[in-house]
Structure formats: C-alpha cells, structure tokens
Chain A
Amino acid sequence: MSDFVLAHLRALEAESLHILRETAAQFRKPVLLYSIGKDSSVLVHLARKAFYPGKIPLPLLHIDTTYEYPEMIEFRDRFTAEIGAELLVHTNDRAIEQGANPYTLGTSKCCSLLRTRALVEGLEAGGYDAALGGARRDEEKSRAKERVFSFRDRDGRWDPRNQRPEIWNVYNGKVDPGESIRVFPLSNWTEMDVWRYIELESIPIVPLYFAKPRQVLVRGNTIIPLESNVKTLPGEEPRTVMCRMRTLGCTPCSGAIRSEADTIGKIIDELAAMRRSERENRVIDHDQEGSMELKKREGYF
C-alpha cells in the first residue's frame, strides 16, 4: 500500500491544529495571546482552521504597552474585525499613570512592568486557565526546553523543575484553581517555517515587516524608526533609510534592519542569506546573560 507523506509545512500545520483543539477541549477558559506580530498572525490563522466551520471559540488578548507602533494597532483592529474574532486589550494602567517608560527605567524594568506584569495581571483578571502564544523553541536558548503545554504556578511563574514530561502528543493540561498552562502550538516551527507558511497561505501581516523608506534614528548598530513616542537624544538627526522590522517590539526598543525586501518572497530570500538572530535587535535580550530565562522565571512569556 503506497504511503502518503505530508509536505513539511502541512505536517507542522496538522500538529498545531491538534494542539489548538486540545487546548479548547481541555480548558475551562482559554485565551489566545495576540501580539500582532508574524507568529501571532500565523497562530490566529491556524486557530481559524482548527475550529472551522465554527468560529474561534476563545478571545484574542493584546497586552498593549502603549508604546506600540501605530501601524500595529491599526492592523490589529482591522484584522480582528474582518475575521470576526473577539479582541480584548489590556494595559498596565497604573504603571503608565506613574510614567513608566524605557528611558528613565531602563528596558529591563520597563518590560517588567509594561509586558510581564501586564501579562500576568491581564491573565489573572480574566481568570484564564490556559494562554496560547506564538512562541517557538528555536527563538532563544531558554525556549529550547520549553514544553508545548507549559505549567505556570499561581503567580504565573515558570519553574524548570516543575514541568511535566511531554510524551508523544499526549498533553496533560490538568491544573488546580489559580494555576494555568501556557500553550505553544508553534513550538516546532522555525522562523523560516513561519515565513514560508505566511507565503503559502497568503496570511496578512503588519506592513512594518516590509521594507520601505522610513524616518529613523541611527544609534551605532541599531536603527530605530521614528515614531511619536520615540525621544531623540541631544544632537540626533533623523535620516531616511530603506528598512524594515525583522521582529516587532515597542517603538523605543526595537531596531529595524536595512533591507530592500518589500515582498514575502524577498523577505524569505533575505532570511536565508541572513545570519543575524531575530532577537539581536530587540535590545532587551542583551541586558544580562541568560536574560530571557530571568524574564521567564518572572513570568514574561
């Protein structure tokens, strides 16, 4: 009997659909953490497939730091309305009122308040027992050992000693009240897989990913697109550079890269040639050695 074999993106897709369905079935109140980035966009697309012909049975939660690019917010609102998804937005209002920002606090502390804290509070406020995210294992060393179903204690914290062995594709999602699971359906996808899938499925993504001439501030190796909430330093002059974002973060802290890639195809070619890690331009990862791991122990994704 001849044996049908799936193309590798279809095999990854099938696995992710299985994980999404398990999440919807096992948990009382799951939520999808939507960061508007390319991984989130793939995740939402997969969610549409998983529950078809029904609608996505869980809300999309965006943790808004208020420092996001306006293009991202606009895309978020338009796209979620188009697909009929339920969008929830949460901000750490208290920290914002107290003037939290990366310039005075430093990126480590600012992220801690506006991302980590906001995330933990947003999840608690909603009483969610499972949160789906687009994180992948190839993104960073500390994520290589992450499970698909990652247990978080009552304080939203991750302890490497506290995780459950994950055998076959059998996921143990049992939690007690207050505890939760982070679910990562894209665990086995690489950055290249994500882009190829976006191309294969024509998934809409934020225009920031595509190259175009932009007003930027050049600081050493880092190019920061000029937005209303980016402060220029004394003596700094904005320049016009053909660039795009390889990964999205907050405006003051995310660097763009010089690029001519203005289509998905060109982005993929560029990626294949490129050797710089996705996170090099997200300044926060270089604060301390093993910084991502510290943030995870604190509860950041």
Chain B
Amino acid sequence: MATGASLTLDHFLAPEGEKPLLRISTAGSVDDGKSTLIGRLLLDSKQVWEDHLDEIGRSKVNRASRGVDLSLLTDGLRAEREQGITIDVAYRYFSTPRRKFIVADTPGHEQYTRNMATGASTAELAIILIDARKGFLAQSHRHAFIAWLLGVRRLVFAINKMDLVDFSEEVYEGIRKQASALLVHLDGAQADFVPVSALDGDNVVELSARTPWYQGASLLDLIETLQPPAYAPQFRFPVQLVIRPHLDFRGYAGQVASGRVKVGDEVVALPSGRTTRVKRIVTFDGDLDEAFAPLSVTLELENELDIARGDVIALAAAAPKLARRIVANVVWMNEHALAAGATWLLQQGPRTVPARVTKIVHRWDVEKLEALPAAALQLNDIGQVEIETAEPLVFDSYRENRSTGGFILIDPITNLTMAAGLIERAARLEQRRKSRIEFESAAITAAERTALYGHTSARVALAGRGEIAPLAERALIEQGAHVFLRDRDDVAVDALTGAGLIVLDTRPGGEGGIDAQGLSADPDEAVLELIERLRRAGVFLDHDAVQPGEGI
C-alpha cells in the first residue's frame, strides 16, 4: 500500500515510441467478406483456439466455397449462425508481439448505422471493406462517413476479393479514385488502400506475390505500426466519485479525459467556476507528480470546494466552454422517432441533465453529403439539432475533443439510450436581446451599449503577440462580440472603446486593458486563455458565462 512515497510515470508508460493498444472498428457488408477477413486475422495471428475450429467443422452450417468457413468464427448467436448475418457489435481480440487489438465488428446494412456509430465511437482506426468487383459503393461511402463523423481519422480501405478480379491494378486504382472524391470532404482523414484476398490471405498478413504493383504494407503490418492521433491537449477531468474515507481526506476520483495535469497547477471546477490548485495526485500504488489521459486517478485539491460528481476540473488557463443551448449532430438509435419539443436526459460522462430538443435543424443525406430539411429523425438517421439544457453544459466541440464533446440522450420513461450526440458549438441566439434603448433623442450611454452588445468595451494589449490577433478576432465575433483589430496608429483607442467595442490592440504603447503576458505559445490555446481572461475580468454579460465564485 502507498505510504506517500512518490510514484513515477514509468510505472504506467509504454516503451518509448510504442502504442501497444489499438482500437479498431470494422465495417462492411456480409457479402464483402468482412467476417472472413477478421477470421483470417484471428487465425493467422494464432488467436483462434483449436477447439473453436473443431466445433465449426462439426457445425451444420458451412458456407465457404473452400476450406473452413472462417466467418463462422466470428458469427456468434445461434440464430445468426444459421442466417449467416451478424446483428450486433461484436468485440474481438487478438495481439501480435507488438500490439494488442480490440476490434469492434459491426454489420454493413444501412439499418445498422447505430451499431456502426457505436463501434466507431471508441475506435482510433476504421477498416472499411470493399468488394473489388463492386467498387466504391454508396455503403462504403456511408461507412467512411460515419467513422469520420464519430471521430476516426485513420481510415484503411481493404479492397477485398482481389482474387476474383485477377489482382488487377486498374481495378484497385479505380476504387482509390472513387474513394478520393469522398475523402476530400472528410477534414483531417488519412486514408490507406490495401488490395487483399481474405479467403486466400493475400496481403492480409503477408505481402502477396500476386500484387507486384502494390507498394504499400500488408494489412496487419499497417495496423501494427501506424500511430493514431493523440488525445486532445486540454486537460479535462470529469469527476466520477468523491472519496471521503475520513475527515482528513477528500479526493475526486475520475479518468483524465484529455490533456495533462501536474501537482501545483491552477485548476477550475465547472460549472461553478471556483478555482484552486492541485495538491496531490493519488493512486493506490503511490502519488504521482503528473497525470495524463487516459489514467484513472484521484485528485486532492488545496481548497475544499463544493465539487460533486459530474463537475469537470480543467486548467484555469484553458477551460472548456459553457452553454445552456447547443448545436449538435445526433445519430438516432431508436425506433421511436425524434420530434422537436421532446424532452430527454442528456448524459455526458458522469453528468446527467434534463434536456429538450428545441429544433431539428436538418437531416444529413449521408450518401450525397447534403443537409435536408426534416420534421423528425428516424432510427439510423443522422441529423443536426438544437438542444436546450436545464443546467449549463461543460463541453468542447466534438471535433476538438472526443471525450468532452459527446453525449447520449436517454428516454426518462423507458430508460433506453435514444441517440449519440456530437456537440458542434454553443447555439447563438437568433434574436438580439430586447433592446432597452427607447426612441428618444437622449444620448446613448455606455451601459445601454453594454446591455445591447452583451459585453463591456475593453482593450486587449496584444503587442508582441500580433500573430494571434486574427484568430482572437474570429473567436470573439463568433461568440457575438463586437470587435475591432487595431493595427494602425491613426485610429484612436478611446474612440473605439467609446463605441462599446472590444479592441484587439496590436500596436505597442498604450495603457490599461487586458494583458497578453504569459499566454500559451500555442495560438489556439492562447486565444482560449485570452477569452477566459476577458470573461474573468467581467467583460462578457452572457448569462451562460462563468464568473469566478458564483454558482449557477
């Protein structure tokens, strides 16, 4: 048991440069041979137990044209074994000396979009199966899109049944080209194309002599060596449990969702906004000086704050967003359709709040990548909605952070999970707040401007950090602020602040205002920190913003 002696991170780390656990999602139709491909990976990496093979030989159902029907290895439930179709997300495990793989295997039919989304949600890599004879179909497009939507940035297209197209380079190139038309729209996606024959084993584990024109790696080699994207850099710690064995210890137990934290760091607890410092990072094996995602630890803080399950602890300098109205993409997972006005429970990690879908913005036509108007979302639809919650949500956009940008919707009556949600951003108010300016000839006061604009005027001294000014300007404008970027001396700061604007002043000299000293070197983080400084200085009046020390 721990005695207070410090533990180093070496206790937890993988050897330098390695990533020993990889989560993969696979998608493809029954007929594309996906089950055969997985069966081949399991068999050739020697993960199949011999008696499972015996059992399949004994089984009444054997659909393969030659040899043992490898797909029977992966088909589970009895009913499915006879129909030859998988109906759910199945998790398979295999490892090579270099890496352990968790494979979320999902069906290919359109009516299993929810299963695909589920499998892709934790994946770092997606293997999308294509039948070489059929080419890049609408369903391949759908699979790639869903994986990408759920945050998978490494896509590996396994072009199967090459044995049936004579291992033709032309066919392979044709499919690559078709896929590229989609990939152009998938921001940040990295794609690989591997020509395989799952049935015969070409390019699955070993490179095949039958594709001399192929310059890439075998499928297994590829998935064994690629480095998937890391966790988001901002520190996020959703509190799961308060551990209080006796009066002298109060610890907040949770899993670091992203980023890193060190003992001594100044942190903020949201949504309350109270700040303090990290006193200890406690684990069963000893105290750590530093913790990173995805470690599960217990944080002890210097001040006794009223933090409960569901609160998020973040670095004070780079906190997540807060909003009571958000725009999100949702994958609808239930037979009961979604209509605007319905109320749900929104669960985000350990936090559950009542929520209402106020508007269905549109439904995505996944195949044409078009937004279509919709009055309702049906099972397996993907659409964009506006949601209003009873308490402010603490979040990052899903694109920035898969851990803090996702949520599920639960039906409070049936307890069923109805949808997966991916937060895009806070929703902007459609109408300006009702103006308190009356139509008379009195001069407009600063207070009136403030009430109308939603913020006080401010000067931000950005001399020396001019490079973040355009980004800061954009970030502020998107929040609805009235901003001016001052990069010339002949525009007076007074005149600008007098007009109620937030002035981003990149010219040297000048007095007063918000400082840019000590902002992060990384531009995105610096802008986040800057906005936080403005917020803490009381510049914003939005009721969703956080004032330190105030509860909501």
Please list the residues of chain A having a beta carbon within 8 angstroms of any beta carbon in chain B.
1, 3-8, 10-15, 17-18, 21-22, 24-25, 48-55, 137-138, 141-142, 144-145, 160, 163-170, 172, 174-176, 187-188, 190, 192-193, 275-278, 280, 289-290, 293
Contacts and interface: CB of A to CB of B under 8 A. Distances in A.
A160 B79 CA distance: 11
Interface string B45-64: 01001111001000100000
The B contact surface, by secondary structure, is: mixed
A140 B415 CA distance: 29
Nearest to B89: A145
The A contact surface, by secondary structure, is: loop
Interface in B76-135: 76-78, 81, 87-93, 95, 99-100, 102, 114-115, 117-118, 121-122
Interface of B: 2, 9, 11-15, 18-21, 46, 49-52, 55, 59, 74-78, 81, 87-93, 95, 99-100, 102, 114-115, 117-118, 121-122, 230-231, 233, 240-241, 243-245, 249, 251, 253-255, 260, 282-285, 292, 294-296, 298, 309, 333, 345, 347-350, 402-403, 406-408, 410, 415-417, 420
A5 B14 contact: yes
Contacts of B347: 170, 172
5 contacts: A141-B75, A145-B88, A164-B417, A166-B118, A172-B408
Nearest to B50: A275
A289 B410 CA distance: 36
A289 B240 contact: no
B240 A145 contact: no
Given A54-B243, A280-B51, A290-B78, A168 B406 contact: yes
Given A6-B13, A51-B241, 7 more contacts: A6-B295, A11-B294, A53-B245, A142-B77, A168-B121, A187-B91, A276-B51
B349 A170 contact: yes
A8 B100 contact: yes
B348 A5 contact: no
A141 B76 contact: yes
Given A1-B233, A21-B240, A137-B93, A172 B410 contact: yes
Contact of A6 (B55, B74, B233, B294): B294
A255 to B, nearest CB: 13
B14 A6 contact: yes
B524 to A, nearest CB: 12
Contacts of A3: 230-231
Interface-centre pick from A10, A168, A169, A289 (highest chain B CB count, 10 A):
A168
Nearest to B348: A170
A193 B20 CA distance: 13
A127 B50 CA distance: 42
Given A6-B295, A165-B115, A172 B417 contact: yes
A188 B89 CA distance: 13
A167 B121 contact: yes
Contacts of A52: 2, 243, 282-284, 298
A192 B49 CA distance: 13
A137 B93 CA distance: 9
Given A5-B19, A14-B295, A165-B420, A145 B13 contact: no
A188 B102 CA distance: 7
Contact of B76 (A17, A142, A166): A142
Contacts of B89: 145, 165
Contact of A174 (B251, B283, B403, B410): B410
B12 A6 contact: yes
A190 B243 CA distance: 30
A144 B91 contact: yes
Contact of B240 (A13, A14, A18, A188): A18
A288 to B, nearest CB: 10
8 closest Cβ pairs, A-B complex: A277-B49, A17-B296, A49-B284, A174-B415, A8-B20, A54-B245, A290-B78, A8-B21
B296 A14 contact: yes
B14 to A, nearest CB: 4
